[in-house]
Amino acid sequence: MRALVGGLLTLVVSAVLVGVLGTSASAACDTPWGSQSKGTLGDYSQGPLERVRTGRQTCYDRLVIEVAGSRFGYLVGYVDEVHQEGSGKPVPLRGGAKIRIIVQAAAAPGFPAVSPELANVSGYTTFRQVAGAASFEGQTTIGLGVRARLPFRVLALPREGGGTRLVVDVAHAW
C-alpha cells in the first residue's frame, strides 16, 4: 500500500512540475508596453550623467542610466538612425532596430560619452550594443542596438543617496 501511495504521489508531483516548468518564460511575461516614444524634453539636470549599466531579466533586458540630478527631460524611441550630438554623424549600431535615448544631462568628467561600447551586452537576448553618441550643450545621447523592434518601457526612479536612475527595459518578445 505504501508503495502505491508513494508511486501516486511521485506521479502527481511530477505532473505538477512538468506543468509549471513546461511553460515557457516568454509565455509568462506580461510586457504590454508598446513601441512608441516615451518621455519629453524640457528641464536640464543640475547634476551630470554619471554611469550606464545593464542587466538581464527573465522577460527583458535592462539599461540603467544614472544621473546625479533629480529632474530632467528625456526622450526614448525607435529611430532609423542615431546621430552624434553636435556633429550629426551617424552612430553605427548592431541589431535589427535602433533606440535613441536623449537625456538632458551633461556627461560627467571621465564618462565615455563617445564610445562604441558603453557596456558589454554579449549574450543578451535583446540588446546588441550600447553606444555613446556624445554629450553636447547639456544633453547626452545614447544609442541602443536591439535585436528587433520590440516593446519597451522607461522608468525614472530615485537613486539611493540622491539623483535618478533612468531605466529602459526592452522586452524579449511581443
Q: Where residue 99 sits, what CATH number does that domain have?
A: 2.60.40.3500
Residue 123 domain-assigned (yes or no): yes
Can you tell me the mean pLDDT for 91-105?
A: 98
Over residues 79-93, the pLDDT tens digits come to 999 999 999 999 999
Residue 118 domain-assigned (yes or no): yes
Residue 38 domain-assigned (yes or no): no
Model pLDDT, residue 65: 98
**Does the structure show a pLDDT above 70 at 60?**
yes
Residue 127 domain-assigned (yes or no): yes
Range of the domain at 128: 49-171
Residue 35 domain-assigned (yes or no): no
Phi, psi (deg, nearest 5) at residue 43: -80, 145
Residue 141, helix vs strand vs coil = strand
Can you tell me the mean pLDDT for 62-68?
A: 98
Please give the radius of gyration of the chain, using alpha carbons only, rounded to the nearest integer.
Answer: 21
pLDDT confidence tier of residue 6, bands split at 50, 70 and 90? very low
**Does the structure show a pLDDT above 60 at 29?**
yes
Q: How many domains does the chain divide into?
A: 1
CB 108 within 8 A of CB 68: yes
**Does the structure show a pLDDT above 70 at 13?**
no
H, E, C per residue of 161-173:
CCCEEEEEEEECC
Residue 117 domain-assigned (yes or no): yes
Comparing 63 with 26, which gets the higher pLDDT?
Answer: 63
Alpha-carbon gap, residue 140 to 134, rounded angstroms: 6
Model pLDDT, residue 21: 43
Tell whether the torsion through CA atoms of 78, 82, 85 and 91 is positive or negative. Answer: positive
**Residues with Cβ within 8 Å of residue 171, at least 6 apart in sequence:** 29, 31, 33, 59, 60, 126, 150, 151, 152
Can you tell me the mean pLDDT for 60-66?
A: 98
Residue 14 domain-assigned (yes or no): no
**Does the structure show a pLDDT above 70 at 66?**
yes
Residue 25 domain-assigned (yes or no): no
**Does the structure show a pLDDT above 70 at 22?**
no
Alpha-carbon gap, residue 56 to 72, rounded angstroms: 26
Can you give the pTM of this predicted structure?
0.85
pLDDT confidence tier of residue 2, bands split at 50, 70 and 90? low
What's the mean pLDDT when you consider all of the chain? 89
